Structure 1
Amino acid sequence: MWAGRNYTLLTAAAVVTGLGSSGALIAAAFAVLQAGGSATDVGLVAAARTIPLVIFLLIGGALADRLPRHRVMVAANALNCVSQGAFAVLVLTGEPRLWQMALLSALGGTGQAFFAPAAEGMVLASVSGEHSGRAFAVFRMGMNGANIGGAALGGALIAAVGPGWVLAVDAAAFALAGLLRAFLDVRGVPPREPGHGLLTDLRDGWREVVSRPWLWSIVLQFAIVNAVVAAAEAVYGPLVAQEHLGGPGPWGLALAAFGAGTVGGALLMTRYKPRYLLRVGALCVFPLALPSAALAVPVPAGALAAVMFGAGIAVEVFAVTWMMALHQEIPEEKFSRVSSYDWLGSLAMVPLATALAGPVQDLIGRTSALWACSALIALLTAAVLCVRDVRQLRRRPDTTTVAAEAAPASDAAEPSEGTAELPGQVPVTGLPTSAAADDVTPH
């Protein structure tokens, strides 16, 4: 059996947090609206989560290459549990103030900053190279399946009992996920050697990034793509749903359709092994322009769900090909640091985009803003395809990583924190914006 204990525990934890976080994303936006907030207020609360995420990501990546990664993940889950629990109490017991919601969102973002680099790559490190593609696809399938149920259930619960209870469920999900990760088997991991200093470690990670045109070009692309997707999904989407689609229920179903698409994409990637990883992946970014266009029209709820479903399939193909490229090309002992730069690039513009979404809507109108989001995604994706290394990076037949080829077996196993034989997220480099769930790849 290729799926060992650590792989099973980490996949189960990702499913649990996916169920909670996908509904909590919708709940946070509607909690602000129900408290009398405006579109700008929704964007400010979303930005408050992302600002500390951006600030602390590089530190989180350096620490994850120094400390036992499973302990970093458990501590981050505990912080997310506390922040979401306090958010739920505020919403359930009275009228939360904007600064309180922003502060608690910021605490959640801080936890994510330390969790993401530590989690990135652990799934693939827990299985042998020959099973890495299937392992990551199955992991993503389970996580995205949870997002389907979480988004649909979250939208229904918000409509029935309000956003506070959905936030409380998310807090409980983080507690359970942290407990599962605490049981990871770390007995086989040798003690980590001390590094040469935080700044030296960060410089080493930076050199790994800038030496690879395919890596920095896609990170730059998603710095803007994730920003405009975040503005469309976190700010404009709930507003369009409230004014034209019937409220949080239809919007939750649309997000669930996206999740269903990602499950389909993951299922496809258990069989499909493209020869040119990033050429295929980059082509699959074009459909991310469609949801913003659908909201701009706006199309009926059923049509929006269909568009989101197709975008979900495409982004999942990208997510798997991106993660396979990273594991194939990046030395394992530097993976968390490179991952932190990836996350930083992917999320750096998100706070600005979500904070400015309301003012931009007031200036040029929501429809024009959404069309601009679509155009930026399409133009940037076309530009990335002009990079030779993006088009020509090939999949290695044995799917082994650089570290597996160059390091002793004990060193190659180190990123799994003692797996005997596991990555977190995607922001979708997922839809990625998908900075909301704690187990997604940054894009």
Structure 2
Amino acid sequence: MSPSPTAPPRTSARRGRPAWAGRNYTLLTSAAVVTNLGSHGALIAAAFAVLESGGSGGDVGLVAAARTLPLVAFLLIGGALADRLPRHRVMVAANALNCLSQAAFAVLVLAGDPQLWQMMLLTALCGTGTAFFNPAAEGMLLSSVSGEHSNRAFALFRMAMNGAGIGGAALGGAMIAAIGPGWVLAVDAAAFALAGVLRAFLDVGHAGDRAPGGGLLADLREGWVEFRTRPWLWSIVLQFSVVVAVVGAAESVYGPLVARDQLGGPAPWGLALAFFGIGTIAGAVLMMIWKPRRLLLVGTLCVFPLALPSAGLAVPLPVWGLCAVMLVSGAAIEVFGVNWMTTMHQEIPEEKFSRVSAYDWFGSVSMLPLATAVAGPVESAFGRTSALWGCATLVVLVTAAVLAVPDVRRLTRRTPPPKAVSLPAAAAPLAAAPAGPAVASGPADG
């Protein structure tokens, strides 16, 4: 008889590694660390590549939108395929596409005089890979540990990724200042290649046979029913459709411009993003010992601090002040992320998780391409300071509105949890966004 899909891998403990951290968990964590080291710096590098080629803030927004538009377009298909095909193969194929697109982007920048349309096309290919990668990655991690150890495993996974994000953002900013953005993009391409090799060795023999479905459209309809019948789920996804959009616009478009004009360039901006990563580690440590009973109430209250980075850029705060607000917002979103993960873990059937997760991702990032594309024109019409204050205000308003949903206030933790670990998809789109602090919340970018 095949083991349960959620059974812990049958591997013995090795020195320096917990008994429950089997082969798949170790490979997934290692690959996520590698890609986070590369992608955090590459997000900054892409923005400065546009600026150094003579582009404007509006051009930075167009490149950012080009990355997220295919992410939105292909997420639902990616979620359905992840429930039908071997997930590790989907992940490796997505990594290969990301590697090739980032390598071409690097060559383009290093050769000099990159054209805007070329940068948009290559960035769009990277976003396409991410759309297929994310649902498969979440399902794969879901089956890598048992429910008994899921909280600890998930916290360690997040801390490893966030630690890589700290190093990647700080190193990326320093490398851009020293040798230019092209080499940072090349490092990101190499990271995708290495991560793809690691994921090729994932063991899927422990997964049970999947029941045949009624076709791609039927699978999507079934996922939609699961999504729309849970008010807590669709209301928070709607909330994050606005939060991700304005945070993405503020930090992928306005952040580099403020850094260039008033903070001294990419290195201080990279340092501020690194402090966000430090905050997420602090939040993860807190959540290893704190288990709030009202999961979504506590989590939603912790979304309010996401308004702080936009407000800090609007003032603008000096570098140390910006680092402080990044630290607070990083810790807060990590508290939300762990509570969101636990809620998804409790409430969504495991066999439907990838499809529900795809709707979650789709809703959460759906407005991001528009927001990043119009960030430049909005700045021209109203001024950068007014645009940033508007971003902060929207975060506060939509988060306050979600607190009016009864299920968000009342949903409570059940013990013991019925299923294994999953990733917080509503927080994770922040990682998929070309935005600074948000990148620490999930396995986006492969």
Please give the residue correspondences for 1:41-60 in structure 2 after superposition, counting only pairs within 5 Å. Answer: 41-60=59-78
Tell me the alpha carbon deviations over residues 376-407 of structure 1, each in whole angstroms, 9 at most, x when there is no partner.
Answer: 10111111111111111111111222xx7xxx
**Structure 1 residues not aligned, in runs of 5+:** 405-421
Provide closer, same or farther for how the CA distance between residues 438 and 370 of structure 1 changes in structure 2, counting only shifts above 3 A: closer
| Partners of 1:224 and 1:349 within 8 A in 2 | yes
> Which residue is equivalent to 2:94?
76
> Which residue is equivalent to 1:429?
428
Please give the residue correspondences for 1:18-167 in structure 2 after superposition, counting only pairs within 5 Å. Answer: 18-167=36-185
Q: Does 1:245 align with 2:263?
A: yes
- Cα deviation for residue 192 of structure 1 reads 3.0
Alpha-carbon separation, structure 2, partners of 1:343 and 1:304: 28
Provide closer, same or farther for how the CA distance between residues 64 and 231 of structure 1 changes in structure 2, counting only shifts above 3 A: same
| Partners of 1:319 and 1:441 within 8 A in 2 | no
> Which residue is equivalent to 1:440?
442
- Cα deviation for residue 48 of structure 1 reads 0.3
Alpha-carbon separation, structure 1, partners of 2:104 and 2:362: 27
- Cα deviation for residue 440 of structure 1 reads 1.4
> Which residue is equivalent to 1:314?
332
Alpha-carbon separation, structure 1, partners of 2:349 and 2:261: 49
Alpha-carbon separation, structure 1, partners of 2:43 and 2:423: 18
> Which residue is equivalent to 1:415?
none
Alpha-carbon separation, structure 2, partners of 1:93 and 1:27: 15
- Residue identity over aligned pairs, in percent, reads 71
- Cα deviation for residue 264 of structure 1 reads 0.9
Tell me the alpha carbon deviations over residues 224-270 of structure 1, each in whole angstroms, 9 at most, x when there is no partner.
Answer: 10000000010000000000000000000000000111111111111
- Cα deviation for residue 134 of structure 1 reads 1.3
Tell me the alpha carbon deviations over residues 26-85 of structure 1, each in whole angstroms, 9 at most, x when there is no partner.
Answer: 000000000000001000000000111100000000000111111101110110000000
Deviates more, 1:271-280 or 1:185-194: 185-194
- Cα deviation for residue 188 of structure 1 reads 2.2
Q: Does 1:362 align with 2:361?
A: no
Provide closer, same or farther for how the CA distance between residues 130 and 434 of structure 1 changes in structure 2, counting only shifts above 3 A: farther
- Cα deviation for residue 428 of structure 1 reads 3.5
- Cα deviation for residue 439 of structure 1 reads 7.7
Please give the residue correspondences for 1:20-419 in structure 2 after superposition, counting only pairs within 5 Å. Answer: 20-401=38-419
- Cα deviation for residue 426 of structure 1 reads 5.5
> Which residue is equivalent to 1:413?
none
Provide closer, same or farther for how the CA distance between residues 225 and 438 of structure 1 changes in structure 2, counting only shifts above 3 A: closer
The normalised TM-score by structure 1 is 0.93
Alpha-carbon separation, structure 1, partners of 2:34 and 2:400: 36
> Which residue is equivalent to 2:12?
none
- Cα deviation for residue 144 of structure 1 reads 0.4
Alpha-carbon separation, structure 2, partners of 1:317 and 1:125: 23
| Paired residue type of 2:211 | E
The normalised TM-score by structure 2 is 0.92
| Partners of 2:87 and 2:139 within 8 A in 1 | no
| Paired residue type of 2:302 | C
CA RMSD of the aligned region, Å? 1.6
- Cα deviation for residue 433 of structure 1 reads 5.1
Alpha-carbon separation, structure 1, partners of 2:311 and 2:161: 27
| Paired residue type of 2:428 | T
> Which residue is equivalent to 1:407?
none
| Paired residue type of 2:339 | T
Alpha-carbon separation, structure 2, partners of 1:273 and 1:395: 8
| Partners of 1:291 and 1:307 within 8 A in 2 | yes
Alpha-carbon separation, structure 1, partners of 2:218 and 2:109: 44
Paired positions, count: 423
| Partners of 2:341 and 2:423 within 8 A in 1 | no
Tell me the alpha carbon deviations over residues 198-217 of structure 1, each in whole angstroms, 9 at most, x when there is no partner.
Answer: 11110100000110000000
Alpha-carbon separation, structure 2, partners of 1:8 and 1:324: 21
| Partners of 2:292 and 2:298 within 8 A in 1 | yes
Alpha-carbon separation, structure 2, partners of 1:145 and 1:431: 17
Tell me the alpha carbon deviations over residues 87-110 of structure 1, each in whole angstroms, 9 at most, x when there is no partner.
Answer: 001011121100000000000000
| Paired residue type of 2:376 | G
Provide closer, same or farther for how the CA distance between residues 165 and 427 of structure 1 changes in structure 2, counting only shifts above 3 A: farther
Alpha-carbon separation, structure 1, partners of 2:280 and 2:135: 22
- Cα deviation for residue 23 of structure 1 reads 0.2
Tell me the alpha carbon deviations over residues 338-380 of structure 1, each in whole angstroms, 9 at most, x when there is no partner.
Answer: 0000100111000000000000000011101100101110111
**Structure 2 residues not aligned, in runs of 5+:** 1-18
| Paired residue type of 2:369 | P
- Cα deviation for residue 429 of structure 1 reads 3.3
Tell me the alpha carbon deviations over residues 133-181 of structure 1, each in whole angstroms, 9 at most, x when there is no partner.
Answer: 1111110000000000000000000000000000000001111111111
- Cα deviation for residue 423 of structure 1 reads 4.8
